[in-house]
A and B are shown apart, each in its own frame.
Chain A
Amino acid sequence: MSKPILEVQELCTSFFTDEGVVHAIDKVSFSLEKGETLGIVGESGSGKTVTSKTLMRIIPSPPGKITGGKVLFHGKDLAAATDKEMQKIRGNKIAMIFQEPMSALNPVFTVGWQIDESLRLHQKNLTKAQRAKRVLEMLHKVKIPSPEQRVREYPHQLSGGMRQRVMIAIALACNPEILIADEPTTALDVTIQAQVLRLIGDLKTELGTAVILITHDLGVVAEVCDRVIVMYAGQVVEEASIDDIFHSPSHPYTRALLRSIPKRGKRVAGAKFETIEGMVPDLKNLPKGCRFQGRCDIEKERCRQEEPPLVQVGERQMSRCFFSNEVIASSKDES
Chain B
Amino acid sequence: MWPYIIRRLLWGIPIVLGVTMAVFLGLHVMKGSPSATYVGKAATQEALDQFDKKYGFDKSYPEQYINYLKEVVTFDFGDSWKNGRPVGDMISEGAGKSVSLTLPALFLTSLLAICLALVASYFRGRGTDRTIMVIAVLGMSVSFLVYIVVLQYLLAFLLPIFQIHGYEPGLVERWQFLMLPIIIQIIVGVGYDTRFYRSVFVEEIGKDHVTTAYAKGASKRRVMFVHVLKNALIPIVTRVMISIPFLVTGSLLLEQFFGIPGIGSMLLAALDTDDFPVIKALSVLISLLFIVSTILNDILYAVVDPRVRLK
Contacts and interface: CB of A to CB of B under 8 A. Distances in A.
Asked if the two chains touch in their complex, CB atoms less than 8 Å apart, one says yes
B76 interface: no
Interface stretch (A37-45, A99-107, A139-147, A325-333): A99-107
Interface stretch (B96-104, B134-142, B152-160, B302-310): B302-310
Nearest to A121: B217
Interface in B206-244: 206-209, 211-220, 227, 230-231, 233
B306 A91 contact: no
Interface string B51-83: 000000000000000000000000000000000
Contact of B230 (A56, A58, A89, A109): A109
B14 interface: no
Nearest to A117: B216
A90 B214 contact: yes
B127 interface: no
Given A62-B125, A154-B306, A156-B306, A107 B215 contact: no
Contacts of A106: 209, 212-213, 227, 230-231
A167 B307 contact: no
Nearest to B305: A108
A237 interface: no
Nearest to B212: A104
A102 to B, nearest CB: 8
Nearest to B220: A83
- Most A CB contacts (10 A, CB to CB) among B125, B214, B230, B310 go to B214
Contact of A58 (B125, B214, B233, B305): B214
Contact of A108 (B125, B208, B231): B231
Contacts of A121: 216-218
A12 interface: no
Interface string B7-46: 0000000000000000000000000000000000000000
A170 B208 contact: no
Interface in A106-155: 106-109, 117-118, 121-122, 154
Contacts of B215: 56, 58, 90-91, 95-96, 98, 171
Given A108-B306, A156-B306, A91 B217 contact: yes
Nearest to A174: B217
A89 B227 CA distance: 20
A156 B207 CA distance: 16
Contacts of A104: 208-209, 211-212
Nearest to A87: B217
Contacts of B305: 107-108
B218 A107 contact: no
Size class of the contact patch on chain A:
20 to 34
Given A108-B231, A108-B305, A157 B310 contact: yes
A93 B208 CA distance: 21
Contact of A98 (B211, B220, B230, B233): B211
A126 B220 CA distance: 23
Interface in A139-193: 154, 156-157, 167, 170-171
A88 interface: yes
A87 B219 contact: yes
A248 interface: no
A92 interface: yes
Given A108-B230, A108-B306, A157-B310, A100 B216 contact: no
A103 B231 CA distance: 13
B217 A122 contact: yes
Interface string A61-94: 0100000000000000000000100111111100
Contacts of A156: 306-307
A323 B135 CA distance: 60
A103 B306 contact: no
A89 B231 CA distance: 26
Contact of B209 (A53, A95, A107, A118): A107
Interface in B83-120: none
B217 A92 contact: yes
Interface in A6-63: 53, 56, 58, 60, 62
A121 B231 CA distance: 20
Contacts of A53: 211
A118 B217 CA distance: 8
B259 to A, nearest CB: 46
Given A58-B211, A88-B217, A154-B306, 19 more contacts: A56-B215, A83-B219, A83-B220, A87-B219, A89-B217, A90-B214, A92-B217, A95-B215, A95-B216, A98-B208, A98-B211, A100-B208, A104-B209, A104-B212, A106-B213, A106-B227, A107-B209, A108-B230, A170-B212
User: Which 3 A-B pairs give the minimum distances between C-beta atoms?
Assistant: A91-B217, A91-B216, A90-B217
28 contacts: A53-B211, A56-B214, A56-B215, A58-B214, A58-B215, A60-B206, A87-B219, A89-B217, A90-B215, A90-B217, A91-B218, A98-B211, A98-B215, A104-B209, A104-B211, A106-B227, A108-B233, A108-B304, A109-B230, A117-B213, A117-B216, A118-B217, A121-B217, A122-B217, A154-B307, A157-B310, A167-B212, A170-B216
